[in-house]
Amino acid sequence: MRPIIGITTYVESATWGVWRDLPTTLIPHDYVAAVSQAGGRPVLLPEHEDTDVLGMLDGLVLAGGPDLDPRFYGAEPEPLTVTRPDRDRAEMLLARRALDMEVPVLGICRGMQLLTVAAGGTLHQHLPDVLGHEKHRPAPGVYGEHDASFEPGSRIAGLMGDDLAIRCFHHQGVADAGKLTVTGRAEDGLAEAVEDPDRRFVLGVQWHPEVVRDERLFGALVAAARQHRSS
């Protein structure tokens, strides 16, 4: 049986067929396809503040999405910060409980930021104010392309090998990684990967590996999920 991988979801207004602007629980199909292609059984997780579902999961993907509420790291929202409070509360509970239970976790974009804040870290709320450029979110729907550098001996360095190209889309970023270790950076010094070397599998990446169905990262999550199931 394939390991069961939960994927967090959005609630957004969506239109399809004869239906218009309905509040809808959804996630880009790339996440589902990437987990399935890597050998996992994807299960979508709607917003819910009950974390008991983790007892049925072998691994967890914290997906991308809107900004995380700055109050989780002791700051007030800035003008360009856009949050989803219900999702923030539910996913913060889920992330913290997953860490406590040693459930393997892969955080993607917002998911990496969520992992960081769950581990006591903080975020920059608008990167152009800090970095002086828009290269991490160059235009609506356009990914920023970077060459990252990875810490030798880290999990992400072992997974990525000589392939340093990443594609990202975000206007916030990690300021302080808290208890996590920054193991990857963009050329401007911004954290692009974090991990917890003391846990079985806790990895966050600021880019979007699901878009290219990157089996290195999703395969590593599935492998850790198999170990979690058998332990």
- What is the pTM for the complete model shown? 0.96
> What are the catalytic residues?
109, 208, 210
CATH number of the domain within which 58 lies: 3.40.50.880
Q: Which domain holds residue 160?
A: 4-230
Task: Encode the chain (231 residues) as per-residue pLDDT tens digits.
Answer: 899 999 999 999 999 999 999 999 999 999 999 999 999 999 999 999 999 999 999 999 999 999 999 999 999 999 999 999 999 999 999 999 999 999 999 999 999 999 999 999 999 999 889 888 888 888 999 998 989 999 999 999 999 999 888 999 889 999 999 999 999 999 999 999 999 999 999 999 999 999 999 999 999 999 999 999 988
CB 62 within 8 A of CB 118: no
Q: How many domains does the chain divide into? A: 1
Query: What residue spans of the chain are helical by DSSP H?
Result: 29-37, 85-101, 110-118, 127-131, 155-160, 215-230
